[in-house]
Amino acid sequence: MMLLANLERASGRCQPTPLPIPLSQPPKTMAGRRVVLFPFPSATHAAAMLQLGVLLHARGLVVTVLHADLNAPDPAFHHPDLAFVSIHESLPFLDGVAAFPDDPVAQAMALNDACEAPFQAALDAELARAVAAGGEVVACAVVDAHWHNMLGAAARAGVPALAFQADGAAAFLDDAAGAARAYASAVVLNTFDAIESPELAMIRRDLSGRSVFAVGPLHLLAPPPPQPDGGGCLAWLDARPPRSVLYVSLGRRAAAIDRAAFVEMAWGLAGSGVPFLWVIPRGGGAPPAFPEELEETARRRGKVVAWSPQREVLAHPSVGGFWTGCGWSSTMEAVCAGVPMLVHPCSGGQEAAAARYVTRRWGTGLEIAGRVVERTAVARTIRRLMARDLSPHAPRERARFLKMQARQCVVEGGLASLAIDELVEYILGL
């Protein structure tokens, strides 16, 4: 089950990457065909579904985004042609009535229970609005696959429900296949065959008779505008040689790092001799501060920032490796940028599955040995990853190959582009 550690523990807004505003061509008109989206309230899930919404709108469908108040998409980043409607849920664990569950399964269940009735009411309102408008039809609801209850609610309202999986086919098999099997008329996944062919084949067998659309990588199909670089990361990278810098960003795992492991990471980076750009978030739940005794090394050979424009960093020619927490969004961004990865899975779940992909199936990265982070192993593995090895099975060459596969998916006539077209045709036929 997906960890909800990347959700804010208060009712703040999520700040996904701004969505692409301009379209190269005006969309075709498919008057009266409305699609309702309902993303899960985390930044990466919301961003992926909104990218899908932009693509559907570009092909002429009308799109309404229902969203929870928890981590609501920032209005500053709303696409002007998508309608955004809050379901105005009441969350007992934010209102002080109940404690927020520690168990991730219980977290997801609590969110599902709290949002089911408000979602049903909001969907009913969309149906009534369509009837009042005359000539308009709510063709379907595309619901994040973690909203198990909402898939059933849409089906009960007589609206075809499509399950959307933001974090890959393996995660769908782990978490969402049961609810999708019961209620979804089709499944939409942010992945592509070159990286998850066996899992996609399993889903297609399991959901025999229902359509499965592999539409990833979505961030390449609907590329957002450049992110702001308040920390000066790109200017710092500009002064470094090609493929010389290790980028370190553990995403939501950063808050779970204890002091001992953090210090070993820092000493390992220092001992590797490799320039590094390290993202250490500030604020509640942030990891420990950078060790004082290594601050001179950080100033001389590295850069430590609280945030970075990750896609731009990974695309920079000076970046030669990425130490990642293996969240699906970051893993996909690294694959699409052709950057080899360094992983140290310290728990089970989807991050561990992505780490196995990186090191064993795709061959695009290396794993730091041992269950406990140890500075010597860190330094040794970093040097191996960053070495200039051009053999066909080296992580760098495998990463370059997968990058080409990803790019081929999103060109006109590529598998992902065709999957979006087929998805639109499917929706029009509902």
**What integer is the mean pLDDT of 257-269?**
89
Per-residue pLDDT for 158 more than 90? yes
Cβ–Cβ < 8 Å for 92, 106: no
Q: Are residues 368 and 424 in the same domain?
A: no
- Provide the pLDDT confidence category of residue 133 given band limits of 50, 70 and 90: confident
Name which residue leads in pLDDT, 220 or 102. 220
Q: Are residues 239 and 381 in the same domain?
A: yes
Which positions ≥6 away from 283 have C-beta within 8 Å? none
Cβ–Cβ < 8 Å for 127, 157: yes
Q: Are residues 73 and 157 in the same domain?
A: yes
Cβ–Cβ < 8 Å for 322, 247: yes
Q: Are residues 59 and 81 in the same domain?
A: yes
**What integer is the mean pLDDT of 163-170?**
94
Terminal Cα-to-Cα distance of the chain (whole angstroms) = 31
**What integer is the mean pLDDT of 387-413?**
93
* pLDDT mean across residues, the chain: 86
Name which residue leads in pLDDT, 91 or 114. 114
Express as a percent the part of the chain with pLDDT over 70: 87
Q: Are residues 59 and 95 in the same domain?
A: yes
Residue 252 lies in a domain: yes
SS3 of residue 64 by DSSP: strand
**What integer is the mean pLDDT of 257-284?**
88
Q: Spot the catalytic one: 45, 57, 148, 219.
A: 45
Q: Are residues 271 and 339 in the same domain?
A: yes
- Provide the pLDDT confidence category of residue 85 given band limits of 50, 70 and 90: very high
Q: Are residues 267 and 380 in the same domain?
A: yes
Q: Are residues 55 and 85 in the same domain?
A: yes
Interatomic CA distance for residues 193 and 130, integer angstroms: 37
Q: Is 174 a catalytic residue?
A: no
Q: Are residues 216 and 348 in the same domain?
A: no
pLDDT of residue 5: 47
Name which residue leads in pLDDT, 346 or 235. 235
- Provide the pLDDT confidence category of residue 283 given band limits of 50, 70 and 90: low
SS3 of residue 104 by DSSP: helix
Per-residue pLDDT for 277 more than 90? yes
Which positions ≥6 away from 113 have C-beta within 8 Å? 149
Nearest partner of 266 among 237, 295, 242, judged by Cα: 295
Region of residue 149 (left: phi > 0; alpha: psi -120 to 50; beta: else): alpha
pLDDT of residue 21: 37
Name which residue leads in pLDDT, 352 or 272. 272
What does the buried/exposed string (b/e) look like for 26-40 if buried means 16 or more CB atoms within 10 Å of the residue's CB? eeeebeebbbbbbbb
Residue 13 lies in a domain: no
pLDDT of residue 6: 44
pLDDT of residue 428: 96
Q: Are residues 144 and 281 in the same domain?
A: no
Q: Mind listing the pLDDT tens digit for each residue in 411-421?
A: 999 999 999 99
Residue 342 lies in a domain: yes
Q: Is 229 a catalytic residue?
A: no
Give the amino acid at 199: E
Per-residue pLDDT for 24 more than 60? no
Q: Are residues 172 and 258 in the same domain?
A: no
137 strand-pairing partners: 33
Total of domains in the chain: 2
Copy the structure tokens of residue 408. 């081929």
Residue 100 lies in a domain: yes
Nearest partner of 143 among 135, 130, 134, 153, judged by Cα: 153
Per-residue pLDDT for 180 more than 50? yes
pLDDT of residue 286: 58
Interatomic CA distance for residues 289 and 428, integer angstroms: 53
Q: Mind listing the pLDDT tens digit for each residue in 29-83?
A: 466 799 999 999 988 999 999 999 999 999 999 999 999 998 888 777 778 889 9
- Provide the pLDDT confidence category of residue 108 given band limits of 50, 70 and 90: confident
Q: Are residues 197 and 269 in the same domain?
A: no
pLDDT of residue 294: 81
Residue 368 lies in a domain: yes
Cβ–Cβ < 8 Å for 142, 188: yes
Which positions ≥6 away from 412 have C-beta within 8 Å? none
Residue 132 lies in a domain: yes
CATH (domain of 149)? 3.40.50.2000
**What integer is the mean pLDDT of 335-349?**
85
Residue 374 lies in a domain: yes
Per-residue pLDDT for 174 more than 90? no
Residue 16 lies in a domain: no
Q: Spot the catalytic one: 67, 69, 79, 144.
A: 144
* Structural domain containing residue 39: 33-224+411-428
pLDDT of residue 389: 83
pLDDT of residue 78: 77
303 strand-pairing partners: 277
